[in-house]
Chains A and B, each alone.
Chain A
Amino acid sequence: MTALSTRAKLGVVAASAVLLGAVAAGYAATAAEPARTPPPAATGDQAVTLTPGPRLLAITDRHVSSVATADPTGPRSVSGLECLRVYAAAGTGVCLKPDTPWTYQVVVLDAALHPTRTLSVPGLPNRARVSASGRMVSWTTFVGGDSYTSGGFSTRTGIIDTVTGATVTSLEEFTIKRDGRAYRNPDVNYWGVTFTADDNVFYATMSTGGKRYLVRGDVASRAVETVKENVECPSLSPDGTRIAFKEAIGADPAKGWRLSVLDLATMRVTATAETTSVDDQAAWLDNGTLAYTLRQSDGRPDVWAVAADGSGAPRLVLPGAESPSPLA
C-alpha cells in the first residue's frame, strides 16, 4: 500500500465511489417499481359505499373495494381511497391510510367514504375494527425502534368513541388484572380489539412475559382482565356467543397459527377446517362463517372463508383482495 501516494489513494476512493454509485443507481433504475399503479378509477356497477347491504368490503390493490356477497367473483367496485386495512359496520368505516411514505393515519369514514375524523398514529398498520353499531372504532399499529427488548417490535392499540370523541391513544394506559390479581409490566402489548354490543366492553389480545392472553376490557373503567391464554386477534361473533381467533400452534407463534373458535359459555375451543397458518383477525360474514386473508408465497393476498363450527373446507372468496368486512 505504501507504493500509492495519498493522491493516488484518494483517486482510487473517488473512482470506487463513482463506480459503486453507478451500481446503486443502475440497480435502482431497473428494480424500481414501475411508477406507482395509478388509483383505479371507480369501476363496477356503482361507487363504493359503506351503507349496510348484502355486500362484502375489502381492499383490492391497496384501494377500498366492494362486491356483492352473493357473487363475490362478479364485478368489483373499486374506489380511489387508498387503505392498508379497512373495516366497516352500520355505515361507519375505519381506514388505516398512508399519509407520507413512512407515516400513517387512522381515518374514520362515513357511509360515502368521506373522512369524519383523522388521527396520526405511530407505526405500521396492522388491525382495524368498528363495533357493530358503528360507534366504537379501534386500530393496532406496529411500532419499531422503541422496543426495550432489543430489536423486537411493540404494538400500539387505540380506541375512539365516535359519539363523544373520547380517544384512548394506547391501551397500555389501562389497569390490568391477570388471573384475578393486579399486574403491571413494561413489556405489555395489545392488539386486535373486538367490541361487544354495549359499545363499552371489548376483547383484545394482550402479550406480556412471552405469553399472549385474551383479555376482556372496559373502556369506561379503563381496565382489562385476562380471560384465557394463547388467544390472539379475537373477533366476536354477531350473536356475541363465540370468539374466532388465531391459536398459536403449540403456544408458539413461530410454528404458525390455527384459525379456531372459542365458545364463551363453555370455554371450549374448536379448530376450523383451515389448516394453513392464518395471521389475521378474522371477520364474521354471518353467525356461521369466517372470512380471513391468506398470503401467497410472494405476499399477494386472497380472502378465504371457512365454516366456524369446524366443518367443511375453506373456499376462496375474493382473489387478490385482503381485509374483508361484511356490510350486511
Chain B
Amino acid sequence: MYLSTVSRPAADPPAGGRPGRRLALVSGNVVALGTVSLITDVSAEMVTAILPLYLVLGLQLSPVAFGVLDGVHTGATALLRVVGGFVADRFQRRKLVAGVGYALSAVAKLGLLLAGRSVPMIGAVIAVDRLGKGVRSAPRDALITLSTPPESLGRAFGVHRAMDSVGAFLGPLAAFAVLLAVGQSYDAVFVTSFCVAALALVVLVLFVRERPAGGPVDSPDQPRVSVREAFGLLRSRHARRLVLAAALLGLATIGDGFVYLLLQRREDLGLRWFPLLAVGTSLAYLVLAAPLGVLADRIGRLPVVVGGYAALGATYLLLAGPVHGWPLLVLTLTLYGTFYAATDGVLIALAGPVLPPRLRTTGIALVQTGQALAYLVSSVLFGLAWQAWGPENAIRAAAAVVAGVLVVTLLLLASPSRPVTRKVPR
C-alpha cells in the first residue's frame, strides 16, 4: 500500500552509510530506536509486574509504607527532563543523553537487589528508574524526528510506539516465566530485567546513529546552543503554542486509573478482571498506533489529534451514558486506545518540524513536561470534582473540558502558516 514511498528520501547522501535499495518503511534509526524501546519495555514491565508481589509478600512491607515510595517529586523529574534535553542539544549528544537515561534505568534494576528491606532505598531506586525514563524520552523522540523526513513523521512515531507497546506486552509474561522457572525468587527477575536492559543498551550503542544519513548536519562552526537561546524557544510563537497545546492535552486526561475505576463501578466488574482493562487499552493502542500515524501523514496531523480528542470525549461520555455490558467495555477500551494512538506519537510528529533542529530535544522535553505537569493537575482536579459532584457528573464535566480543549487546540495549531501540515511536493 505504501510502496510508492518506500525508497528513502532523495536527499539521502550516498556517502552517509549504506544507501538504501533496502525496502524501508521507516528509517533504520527509527527501527533501531524502536528495538531499543521494545527491549527496554520488556525489562521495565517485568519489574512493574512483580514489584507489588515483591514488596508485599517478599519483603512484607506495609502498603502505607508506599506513601513514602510514592513521594517522588514530579517537579524535580520534570526539571531534569528539560535540563537533559538542553544538554543533549548543547553538546549535540542526543544519543549519549538517551543512553544515560537507559543506563540509569538498567542500574536501578540492580539497585532493587541492593536496597533490601529499606523503604527509603527502594524509594530512591524507583526515583532513579523514573528519572532515567524522563531523561531518555526527549532525546529519543528528537532522534526520531531528525532521522525521518517531515512528511513521514507520523508513520515513524506510529511504528516506534507500536514496537514500544509490544515490549510492554511481553514484559509481564517474561517476569512470570522467570518466576515459574525459579520459584519465588524475585531477585532472579531483577537480574534478568537488568540483563535485558543491558542488551537494549548494546543495541542503542551499535545501531542508533547520532547523525542519521539524510538528517540535518550540525556544522562544527555553529556556536553551541546557549541557555539564552533555549529560553528564546518560548518566545517563538509556534513553540509556545505547541507547549500550550501539550499542556491542554494533559489537562484533558484524567488518568487511566479513573477511567478504569469508573468502568469497573458501572459494570460491577469482578475486581480480579481489573488489570485486563489496561491490557484492552494497550491492545487497541498497539494495533492502531502505526495506521493512525500513517493516516496523520496523509490527511495531516492536526485532524488526527483532533480525532483523538473526539475519541477521548466519547470515552468519557460512554462512562456516564446508557450503554452497558460488553458493548460498553469494548467500545470504551477501543476508543481510549484510539485516543492514545492518535495523540501520543502524533503530537510529537506535529511538534518536531516546528522546533528548530538545534533546539529540538529541549523543545520536545518542554512539550512532554508541559503535558505531564498538566496531567497531574487535572487528575487532582478530577478527584475533587468526583468528591463534590459524584462520579457521573465529574466525568461529564471532564467530557466538557475535552470539548473545550479540542476547540482551543484547533485555534492554537491551525494557524494560517501551518508549517506542519503543508504537503511536501514529491
Q: Does B66 contact A (CB under 8 A)?
A: yes
Chain A window 290-308, contacts with chain B (Cβ cutoff 8 Å), 1 for yes, 0 for no: 0000010111010000000
How near does chain A come to B295, taking the closest CB pair, in angstroms?
A: 31
Contacts of B126 in A (CB 8 A): 151
Among residues of B, the one whose C-beta sits closest to the C-beta of A101 is: B179
Q: Does the CB pair A21–B62 fall under 8 Å? A: no
Q: Does A51 contact B (CB under 8 A)?
A: no
Q: Does the CB pair A102–B67 fall under 8 Å? A: no
Q: A101-B184, A151-B69, A152-B67 are in contact. Are A16 and B202 (CB under 8 A)?
A: yes
Among residues of B, the one whose C-beta sits closest to the C-beta of A15 is: B202
Among residues of A, the one whose C-beta sits closest to the C-beta of B58 is: A299
Give complex CA distance A213, B185 in Å: 36
Q: Which of A273-296 contact B (CB under 8 A)?
A: 279, 295
Among A12, A31, A103, A232, point to the contact of B202 (Cβ < 8 A): A12
Number of residues on chain B facing chain A (CB within 8 A): 64
Contacts of A299 in B (CB 8 A): 58-60, 117
Stretch of A71-79, A183-191, A258-266 with 4 or more beta carbons under 8 angstroms from chain B: A183-191
Contacts of A249 in B (CB 8 A): none
Among B176, B179, B207, B379, point to the contact of A9 (Cβ < 8 A): B207
Q: Does the CB pair A101–B185 fall under 8 Å? A: no
Q: Does the CB pair A103–B68 fall under 8 Å? A: no
Chain B window 241-273, contacts with chain A (Cβ cutoff 8 Å), 1 for yes, 0 for no: 000000000000001111011000000000110
Number of residues on chain A facing chain B (CB within 8 A): 61
Give complex CA distance A31, B69 in Å: 26
Chain B window 373-393, contacts with chain A (Cβ cutoff 8 Å), 1 for yes, 0 for no: 000000100010011001100
Among residues of A, the one whose C-beta sits closest to the C-beta of B379 is: A148
Contacts of A123 in B (CB 8 A): 271
Of A35, A126, A184, most buried by chain B (CB within 10 Å of CB) is: A184
Q: Does the CB pair A147–B59 fall under 8 Å? A: no
Q: Does the CB pair A1–B53 fall under 8 Å? A: no
Q: Does A163 contact B (CB under 8 A)?
A: no
Q: Which of A97-139 contact B (CB under 8 A)?
A: 101-103, 120-124, 126
Chain B window 176-189, contacts with chain A (Cβ cutoff 8 Å), 1 for yes, 0 for no: 10111111110110
Q: Which of B17-34 contact A (CB under 8 A)?
A: 17-18
Q: Does B11 contact A (CB under 8 A)?
A: no
Q: Does the CB pair A120–B272 fall under 8 Å? A: yes
Contacts of B188 in A (CB 8 A): 24, 27-28, 31-32
How near does chain B come to A220, taking the closest CB pair, in angstroms?
A: 20
Contacts of A301 in B (CB 8 A): 60
Q: Does the CB pair B67–A297 fall under 8 Å? A: no
Give complex CA distance A136, B18 in Å: 73
Q: Does the CB pair A253–B272 fall under 8 Å? A: no
Contacts of A197 in B (CB 8 A): none
Give complex CA distance A6, B183 in Å: 39
Among residues of A, the one whose C-beta sits closest to the C-beta of B172 is: A102
Among B17, B202, B256, B383, point to the contact of A187 (Cβ < 8 A): B383
Contacts of A319 in B (CB 8 A): none
Contacts of A28 in B (CB 8 A): 178, 181-182, 185, 188, 191-192
Q: Which of B157-213 contact A (CB under 8 A)?
A: 176, 178-185, 187-188, 191-192, 195-196, 198-199, 202-203, 205-207, 209
Contacts of B183 in A (CB 8 A): 32-33, 35-36
How near does chain A come to B371, taking the closest CB pair, in angstroms?
A: 15
Among A31, A101, A121, A144, point to the contact of B51 (Cβ < 8 A): A144
Give complex CA distance A2, B255 in Å: 44
Give complex CA distance A301, B60 in Å: 10
Among B70, B176, B180, B257, point to the contact of A148 (Cβ < 8 A): B257
Q: Does A164 contact B (CB under 8 A)?
A: no
Among B63, B176, B184, B192, point to the contact of A24 (Cβ < 8 A): B192
Q: Does the CB pair A148–B255 fall under 8 Å? A: yes
Q: Does A145 contact B (CB under 8 A)?
A: yes
Q: Does B57 contact A (CB under 8 A)?
A: yes
Q: Which of A1-51 contact B (CB under 8 A)?
A: 1-2, 4, 6, 9, 12-13, 16-17, 20-21, 23-24, 27-29, 31-33, 35-36
User: What 4 pairs across the A-B complex have the smallest Cβ distances?
Assistant: A148-B257, A144-B52, A32-B182, A20-B195
- Residue contacts A-B, CB under 8 angstroms, 18 given: A6-B18, A13-B207, A21-B195, A28-B188, A35-B183, A103-B272, A120-B272, A122-B275, A146-B274, A148-B257, A148-B258, A152-B70, A184-B387, A185-B383, A186-B386, A186-B391, A295-B60, A299-B59
Taking beta carbons and an 8 Å cutoff, which residues of B are in contact with A? 17-18, 48, 51-53, 56-60, 62-70, 72, 117, 119, 126, 176, 178-185, 187-188, 191-192, 195-196, 198-199, 202-203, 205-207, 209, 255-258, 260-261, 271-272, 274-275, 278, 379, 383, 386-387, 390-391
